[in-house]
Chain A
């Protein structure tokens, strides 16, 4: 034994040092420590460099995106804001033959169409989404419905326009009308309303549902009294954003609603001319009046303001709701 120990002590001078303290045995080797230290420093430096480069890249990309958006808004407002805010423009009568026309019928058309579409698409979309999340068993049918909705949302709006023209305008004999347009836009926006509602209801904690059912509520009562109210901020945001998309939609509207009217529509069965479609019409065929440029730019600026206002409203509505539900303080 002693000889063994002695030989070990001798060899230790060239070998790693072994510290014995109680049960803990610690091996130290300065050479290995050095290499590890150097590696740590190097990888730290590399990580730092990578971190900085990545941060800079992401920031630059974000700024470019934001810059493009700001540029578009700036150009549209620069060219049109003066006309849009001029007296007698937004509330003025349109002119087909002479200068100085306003856009009031188009403004009415846009909002009329948006509200009509919402009235059709919200019951359908919200209903379908609530059915999917609260009632249906996950299976082939729910997968099929989701697949269908996802496929629909990738179809270009002009295709919906032509489909709407064939089905609603011609086959059902609705003619160019707000109703035909609203039905078409309802189809176009149904997937988004469904998806946003589904996301909002899925975000409602399972524990709320359990609590309600534990008190004896059935699925319908739970959906109506707990899930829908809790999901309301998300659903409302989705609806208002959809309104923005409807107001901004042109292709599907051109084929189903109309592009120019003299008077504001009063019935859903009348043709109308929502702003986006009218802008397109004025830019492509509006040369009959010499100030067509002014009308189109002014209308574009006003439309942009409307869409921005709707987006802002969506945020504010969601915030107020959350506050009322006590989700934020």
Chain B
């Protein structure tokens, strides 16, 4: 497949949980080294769409994806595609900070160890590098051997980002990463993401429209027509256009706060 600047390409994707259709006709091209924001009212399938990208939906009994999702031209729902390999390439940060009940060091080293890295010095290097990239190293360098659960919420979330960076992914998916954080911690995460986008492709689901406007290069607006309908993309384009002159009046209504 020719190089076209897209990391992910979604073509006519439908997602089902059992008989329930969660997403319909999702077409989305996610550009490399950019931040793509997914916005929309609660229950419109934003998080489900995000979880299609690293096959986290597989964990839900009866989930099924129709259509094509490709990562660098490879179909990720294809027969021979390794889910483990996919999740190494596409890391995920969750809504609530979820560090393991282990030390800070062991949290970051978890991924590398999973992929068979045992050498002490190599691990030390990865841990330090990842914590530095996540702008956390200075705060925790003296307590790498203490429990990660003693950190503040914002620090925990940055630790979770460091944990993802430690396996050297290509893409970072973030599912409302700041919804449990205060404004200052949120600010730090946003600064961090802006810094990281030069090296990683970032997709972020957010409830916070200012955040999407501040942070992202591209924005996809998801919506459901009525309760029980599948979520669809209403509009997708560069963030400036979406927020200043949206093509669809539903987008305009949503971003001006008329519903949602």
| A contact set with B: CB distance below 8 Å | 137-138, 205, 207-208, 210-218, 221, 225-226, 229-230, 325-327, 329
Contact = CB atoms under 8 A, between A and B. Distances in A.
Given A214-B54, A229-B101, 15 more contacts: A207-B94, A208-B98, A210-B59, A210-B94, A211-B94, A211-B160, A214-B164, A215-B114, A215-B163, A216-B85, A216-B114, A326-B102, A326-B149, A327-B149, A329-B150
B59 A213 contact: yes
Nearest to A211: B98
* CB-CB nearest 6 A-B residue pairs: A326-B147, A207-B98, A216-B87, A325-B101, A214-B92, A326-B149
Nearest to B98: A207
A215 B164 CA distance: 7
B98 A205 contact: yes
A29 B64 CA distance: 62
A215 B96 contact: no
Interface residues of B, number: 31
Interface in B82-141: 84-88, 91-92, 94, 96, 98-102, 110-111, 114-115
Given A215-B111, A215-B114, A327 B91 contact: no
Interface in B39-90: 54, 56, 59, 61, 84-88
B167 A216 contact: yes
B114 A208 contact: no
Q: Is the interface of A mostly helix, strand, loop or mixed?
A: helix
B87 A214 contact: yes
A213 B114 contact: no
B100 A208 contact: yes
Contacts of B61: 137-138
Given A211-B94, A216-B87, A326 B148 contact: yes
Contacts of B56: 210, 213-214
A214 B110 contact: no
A327 B148 CA distance: 10
Contacts of A216: 84-88, 111, 114-115, 167
Contact of A327 (B85, B101, B167): B101
Contacts of B149: 325-327
Q: Most B CB atoms within 10 A — which of A207, A218, A229, A326?
A: A326
A8 to B, nearest CB: 41
A211 B111 CA distance: 10
25 contacts: A138-B61, A207-B94, A208-B101, A210-B94, A211-B98, A211-B99, A213-B56, A214-B54, A214-B92, A215-B87, A215-B88, A215-B111, A216-B85, A216-B87, A216-B111, A216-B114, A225-B110, A225-B114, A326-B102, A326-B147, A326-B148, A326-B149, A326-B150, A327-B149, A329-B150
Interface string B144-185: 001111100000000010011001000000000000000000
Contacts of A229: 101-102
A221 B85 CA distance: 15
A215 B96 CA distance: 16
B98 to A, nearest CB: 4
Contacts of A329: 150
Contacts of B110: 212, 215, 225
A217 B160 contact: no
Contacts of B101: 208, 229-230, 325-327
A216 B94 CA distance: 15
Contacts of B85: 216
A211 B59 contact: no
B64 to A, nearest CB: 15
Contacts of A210: 56, 59, 92, 94, 98
A229 B101 CA distance: 9
Given A215-B164, A215-B167, A325 B84 contact: no
Contacts of A208: 98, 100-101
A325 B147 CA distance: 7
B145 to A, nearest CB: 11
A208 B94 CA distance: 10
Contacts of A205: 98
Contact of B163 (A211, A218, A326): A211
A138 B54 CA distance: 24
Nearest to B166: A215
Nearest to A215: B111
A325 B98 contact: no
